[in-house]
Amino acid sequence: QQQVKQSPQSLIVQKGGISIINCAYENTAFDYFPWYQQFPGKGPALLIAIRPDVSEKKEGRFTISFNKSAKQFSLHIMDSQPGDSATYFCAAAERGRGGGNKLTFGTGTQLKVEL
């Protein structure tokens, strides 16, 4: 059962452009939504996370937009750089029900930023 759907599967963006990755979830008990960045040969690294009590969170060039009624959230990377080329995963957890970091991951988006 795919509880977190992620799109697109791959994305090519020009340097300086905006990268947008979307995720949708089904489980309304999810209350914690992190994004992870993974480079080849490395483990996923936490990028930014949001709780459903806010609609947007920004950290540097990275912004999460959250739409609780639509059960959707997205990652925006502003001024995309070649160094941002990596695989991005959205995830969700039920922290309020003691789920801690029992994360359900999306399928990943391979981002390539071209010069």
Partner 1 sequence: DAGVIQSPRHEVTEMGQEVTLRCKPISGHNSLFWYRQTMMRGLELLIYFNNNVPIDDSGMPEDRFSAKMPNASFSTLKIQPSEPRDSAVYFCASSLVAGDAFFGQGTRLTVV
Task: By CB under 8 A, name the binding residues for partner 1.
Answer: 34, 36, 41-46, 49, 89, 95, 100-108
Question: Closest approach of Cβ 23 to partner 1, in Å?
Answer: 13
Question: Closest approach of Cβ 83 to partner 1, in Å?
Answer: 19
Question: What is the length of the chain?
Answer: 115
CB atoms within 10 A of CB 10: 11
Q: Which residues contact 96 (CB under 8 A, 6 or more apart)?
A: 29, 31
Question: Closest approach of Cβ 76 to partner 1, in Å?
Answer: 20
Of the candidates 56, 60, 47, which has an alpha carbon nearest to the alpha carbon of residue 88?
47
C-beta closer to partner 1: residue 47 or 80: 47
